[in-house]
A and B are shown apart, each in its own frame.
Chain A
Amino acid sequence: MLEPGSIAAAALGGGMIGLAAALLMGLNGRVLGVSGMAAGIITPAAPLRERLERGVFLLGVLAGGLLLALVLPQALPGAYSHDRVLLISAGLLVGFGTRLGSGCTSGHGVCGIARLSPRSLVATAIFMASGIVTVYVVRHVLGGAL
């Protein structure tokens, strides 16, 4: 049984993520960036056809999640509980930050680095460093008090 999160599963899953990004470019000519596609649905600036394309992609993402819940439920967080204020603050920061920085782990991290985009290389280095510092502060300075 493939254990989600093991080294082998990480490489296999990563390959599937890369394949999905390559297919979206090869078939539809688009960068697979989740923050941009998700925000693009609710931003009225984009043409309706593009918003529908993004919507169908995100429906696929949600459907993939449901399929995982059926066949590989251990891949999803079981009892995910966090302090609610912390969780909502984190969501706001992720939403606002990815829009301000024009991308997230998929658009900058997977697609931008593969295109050797200098903006994406810098953005990825910064959000990784910032995530590492945040976890360091929460776990080792505040002692997991949050």
Chain B
Amino acid sequence: MKTMTTLGSLLLAAAMLVALPVTTSAAETAGDPDAKCLKCHSKKLKKKLEDGETMFLQISAEDFGQSVHQVIGCTGCHRDVAKGKHPSRRPIANRREYSLKHNETCSQCHAAKYQAYEGSVHASLVAEGSPNAPVCSDCHSSHSIQEQSVYEPVSGEPCSSCHEAIYDAYAGSVHGQAREHGNVIREAHVQAPICSGCHQAHEVKAVAASDYLRDTCLDCHETAAVAHEEWLPNAGMHLKSVSCAACHSPMAERRVDLQLYDKLTRMPVGQGEGDAAIADRMREIDVSDDGLTPFELWKLVRASSREGGGTEVTLRGRMEVATGVEAHRLAPRIEAVRSCESCHEGGASAFQNVTVSISGSDGRKERFAADKRVLNSVVSVDSVGDFYAPGGTRIRVLDGLLVLALVGGLAVPAGHIALGKYLRKKSGKN
């Protein structure tokens, strides 16, 4: 009996020894399922994609452990794995396709953010098939997703990884400098914006397209409109027709953009539908491709109005800086352009560069070159009816009429005096 008991004990102990690792492994899997994933994915795994590239599948356990997604674990996003269908053998066409697929995964939890993203210029570019337009993981990374506060510092990440030149301009601007020096502007503590402060984090806008950016500026600079009214005649119109950066980025090259605009719907012409047709018409009219002349522009406006039926097209002018980089090089207020002459003098540099633009549905503009004479031609009185800067864009024909009036006004007295002298001379002879 004792022998049997001893044998039984030994067998039980042996059984326990054999069973122990199994029991531990099950507990580990049940308590920390990610460990099972990381068991393989912490190694240098890679997968051959269908386009021939190699995708590395190694995940840094440390990075993922610090990610905000650590709480939902691997299967929070890789749900197919959770269903026991590990996708290791499933072919992946290319890295982009895989990222796009996971964009949808993000949307399942972050529906509002994803909806905002879908209205962004980034999403439009993605839809157009741009290989470089960012998807969720391009900005947030795949496995090292951080809290919002991590994006706050002035590193410019993630925007600067694509928009480096623009970020450099921002970093040197009054906003970037304030941010770097503890958000102190003119000895006051203010929250200077980072990229998303003006452009939004997800619903990233093509800011030059509308009044959006001006309103964004005025959101923070609440007293700016009133401050402009104190010294600037027609301040409201200036704020509408001149982008903030045109004066507050004083070294920037400027241009006038004439946007095709429907007076009846009060919307930019194009906006998705029909913009391609108008762009084609523009190319047809400007056959020589040397920029739209005043007459060509007039023809374009007429043709666009006629074809649309219920449309009344005009060109809405706006002065802006020539590049996005310069738009971000905002200077301290004291350095802003305040001289009226910089625009209102005949031949001002601001009016030497003119474009005509059509707005896409996402607000991005397709620009076409225009002859600078469109701003000074009498032919443009109707077509460029809404943009006029006294002096700077004066109509040359009227200069000729003024000379005629001056000459005529002096010729009448001179002629009358001469006539009197002639008649007296004549009567004296008689």
The yes or no verdict on A and B being binding partners is no
Q: Which B residues are closer than 8 A to A by beta carbons?
A: none
Interface residues in chain A, defined as those with a beta carbon under 8 Å from any beta carbon in chain B: none
